[in-house]
Amino acid sequence: MIKISFWLKRSDAEQGSLEYITIDSPKKVLEGKLVGMYTCEIYLSNKKELYPSCSTNPVETLRNASDFVNVYLQGLITRGFIISEVENREPWKLEKRDLQSILQEKIDAIKNNQDISPEEREKILSIIKESFGGSKSPIKDQINKLI
């Protein structure tokens, strides 16, 4: 399991909070519609929600989870949050990018990946849409536009 701790506060507020993100180790799915795929869960402490990441191998699953975390943190920055080190509150050096362009890049990479069969590609895209296009997802509007 990977745990990333950070200090999160709005740029216009004095108070902040200690938050964290955890990413479970990828596990191979043995039954259900994702048989043969690898999945892991991403937990966002400030949302108190679990989000799945999946792919055809464990390394890609972790990369997808990392990409999700990056997009999520970019979204926080875009909405005016400052993300800092826990110990000294020094702000992280995160590039402020347009969330839509980041998501478009990631979805296009999945759609155009020739190493993934069309069936697996559709499985992955449908899981992304189900997982992140729902009402509780912080990136639901962007995902629903792209898939």
Domain ranges for the chain: 2-146
Facing residues of 131 across strands? none
The band of 134, judged by pLDDT with boundaries at 50, 70 and 90, is low
**This model's pTM is above 0.85:** no
What's the rounded Cα separation, in Å, for the pair 62 and 57? 9
Q: What is the pLDDT of residues 28-70, one digit of tens each?
A: 999 887 788 899 999 999 888 888 888 889 998 998 899 888 8
Structure tokens at 74: 């970019």
Contact 125, 117 (CB under 8 A): no
The band of 139, judged by pLDDT with boundaries at 50, 70 and 90, is low
Rank 11-15, 52-56, 83-87, 119-123 by mean pLDDT and report only the highest. 83-87
Facing residues of 70 across strands? none
